[in-house]
Amino acid sequence: MDNSIFFKNKKYFIKDLFPAKKFRKNILIEGVKPLLSANKKDITIFDSQKYTKDAINTKAGFCITTEKLSKFLPANVEQIIVSNVLKEIALILIKIYPDANIDYPDSSLKLIKKSLKKGIKGVNFFLGKNVKIGKGTFIGTNTIIEHDVQIGSNCIIGSNVILKNCIIGNNVSIQDGCKIGQKGFGFLPNNIKNIKFPHIGKVNINNDVEIASGCTIDRGSVDDTCIGNNTYIDNQVHIAHNVKIGSNCMIAGQVGFAGSSTIGNNVSIGGQAGISGHLNIGNNVKIGGGSGVVKDVEDNQVIMGYPAKPLRDFLKKND
């Protein structure tokens, strides 16, 4: 299981996790995964009609879902019907991954005063245990790379950068002060004390990506946060948990993405635009600066405004 490189998981049998439920078989659970990547030994979740297509095709052994959605699941998936899917999955995740809901600082960090060996160049940076870094990669001063992070070759990691729970490709440039892989903004509100939602996902950054100064990219909750090949991201951009951005995109300064939206390839987004959560933005879409996108956008659209609409309508309205 992929995520286990960052978060240790405890082993439970399904019947011990849900003692009040009945199951056809009692299996030692491997992990919690999204609908399409879960296998027979995993628990998955299905909590919105938006994901019906994935639910129909899931190969998960067990699925936490609602009465209403349960009919879409294949017959061989054992259903765990609950009224509040997110609460149930949060409590299960806390049991299986007890360290994923709080970002404890990495106590394995070691100061590297100066490195020129193995092709890694840098002055005064910090590496956690099991970090893997490719040849020809530069690491900036005061940068912190936590345990198990993987970085490809010929990357430039700037200064004062913090990398955790992430896998980074080749030829990636991450400029000063970026923070990548921290827990996202997910919790169950509770008036005495909120329940923090564990984040067992990671951040995948593909080849040839450029991320400018001061960006924050949260790791996924159950799924991963992904940045596609050759996508360029300007300063102070905020990318929330589970966001997936395609290849060859251009994201200008101070853009913000709420959680779980998917952005196609060749998308350009102007400065300070905001993308709401759980949206699908198609390929080749152009989004004007300052726009607020609150609905799905089909391929090849040019949109602008708050709420964003086709450019022609925006211009007409603002004559």
Residues in CB range of 275: below 8 A, 6 or more apart? 255, 256, 257, 258, 261, 263, 269, 281, 287, 293
- Give 75's DSSP letter: T
Q: Which is nearer to a second copy, 33 or 244 (CB)?
A: 244
Q: Which candidate, 204, 258, 260, places its Cα nearest to that of 45?
A: 260
Nearer to a second copy, 4 or 141 (CB): 141
Q: Residue 176, interface with a second copy (CB under 8 A)?
A: yes
Residues numbered 300-319 forming contacts with a second copy, rule: CB under 8 A: 305-307, 318
Q: Which is nearer to a second copy, 71 or 295 (CB)?
A: 295
Q: How far is the CB of 34 from a second copy (least distance, A)?
A: 22
Our finding on whether 177 is near a second copy (CB under 8 A) is: yes
For 170, left (φ over 0), alpha (ψ -120 to 50), or beta? Answer: beta
Window 50 to 109, contacts with a second copy (CB under 8 A): 102-107, 109
Q: Which is it for strands 256-257 and 238-239: parallel, antiparallel or unpaired?
A: parallel
Phi, psi of 88 (to 5 degrees): -60, -45
Phi and psi at 244, nearest 5°, equal -125, 115
Closest to a second copy by CB, 58 or 254: 254
By CB under 8 A, residue 144 contacts a second copy: yes
Residue 117 binds to a second copy (criterion: CB under 8 A): no
- Residue among 90, 87, 92, 86 at smallest CA distance from 48: 86
Q: Which residue, chain included where needed, has tokens 């297509």?
A: 53
Q: Is 165 in the site for a second copy (CB under 8 A)?
A: no
Q: Which stretch binds a second copy (CB under 8 A): 1-9, 23-31, 137-145, 295-303?
A: 137-145
Structure tokens at 319: 């004559």
| Region binding a second copy by CB under 8 A among candidate stretches 31-39, 53-61, 65-73, 121-129 | 121-129
| C-alpha span between 93 and 34 (Å, rounded) | 13
Instruction: Report which DSSP code applies to 246.
Output: -
Cα separation, 153 vs 222, in Å, equals 28
241 is catalytic: yes
By CB under 8 A, the residues from 181 to 240 that bind a second copy are 182-183, 185, 187, 189-194, 196, 208, 210, 212-214, 216, 218, 230, 232, 234-236, 238, 240
Minimal distance in Å, beta carbon 275 to a second copy?
9
Q: Considering the rule CB under 8 A, would residue 173 count as an interface residue with a second copy? A: yes
In order, the DSSP letters of 145-181 are E-TT-EE-SS-EE-TT-EE-SEEE-SS-EE-TT-EES
Site string for a second copy, 280-299 (x = CB under 8 A): ---------xx-x-x-----
Q: Does a cis peptide bond (omega within 30 degrees of 0) precede residue 19?
A: no
Query: Of residues 147, 238, 241, 278, which has the active-site annotation?
Result: 241
Residues 252-271 within binding reach of a second copy (CB under 8 A): 252-254, 256, 258, 266, 271
Residues in binding contact with a second copy, number by CB under 8 A? 76
**Binding window for a second copy (CB under 8 A); candidates: 46-54, 59-67, 245-253, 279-287:** 245-253
130 part of the interface to a second copy, by CB under 8 A: no
Active site members:
241
